[in-house]
Amino acid sequence: SAVISQKPSRDICQRGTSLTIQCQVDSQVTMMFWYRQQPGQSLTLIATANQGSEATYESGFVIDKFPISRPNLTFSTLTVSNLSPEDSSIYLCSVEGGGRAYNEQFFGPGTRLTVL
C-alpha cells in the first residue's frame, strides 16, 4: 500500500491570497486525485492528475481556481487561488495502485485550510 504525506497539515490564510498544498507518495503511481471535504460534509473530487498530461477537472472546478502540477510519478501540488472563506475545507490527495481491490485508493491525511 502507498504511504502519502501532505504539506502543510493546516494553514490559516487571508482572503485573496493563495495556498499551495503538496502531496508526496512513497512509490511511483500513475493516477493521483485531489478531493475537497467541506466542514461536516463528504468528499468531493476536484480533479484527476496524471503525470505527463493536464489535470482533468470535475464539474464545478476550474483550473484558474485550482491549478494542479504533476511533475513526476511521486509528487503533485494543488493550489487554491484567490481564497475566500468558502474555500475553508480539508483538501486531500489520494493515489490508486498497490491495493488489493479494484480501484482502491489510498488517501493522505489532508490539509485543513481556514480562510479569514
Partner 1 sequence: LAKTTQPISMDSYEGQEVNITCSHNNIATNDYITWYQQFPSQGPRFIIQGYKTKVTNEVASLFIPADRKSSTLSLPRVSLSDTAVYYCLVGGEYGNKLVFGAGTILRVKS
- CB nearer partner 1, residue 106 or residue 115: 106
Binding mask 10-29 for partner 1 (x = CB under 8 A): --------------------
Grid cell digits, residue 30: 500513475
Backbone phi, psi, residue 60, to 5°: 95, -5
Pick from 49, 77, 80, 108 the residue near partner 1 by CB under 8 A: 108
- CB nearer partner 1, residue 67 or residue 98: 98
DSSP 42-68: -EEEEEEEETTS--EEPTT--TTTS-E
Q: Binders of partner 1 among 48-107, rule CB under 8 A?
A: 48, 92, 94, 96, 99, 101-107
Closest CA to 91 of 28, 27, 22, 13: 22
Task: Put residue 98 in one of left, alpha, beta given phi > 0 → left and psi -120 to 50 → alpha.
Answer: left
- CB nearer partner 1, residue 5 or residue 82: 5
The answer to the question of residue 110 lying near partner 1 (CB under 8 A) is yes
- What one-character DSSP code corresponds to residue 28? -
Point out which residues bind partner 1 (CB under 8 A): 4, 31, 33, 42-45, 48, 92, 94, 96, 99, 101-110, 112
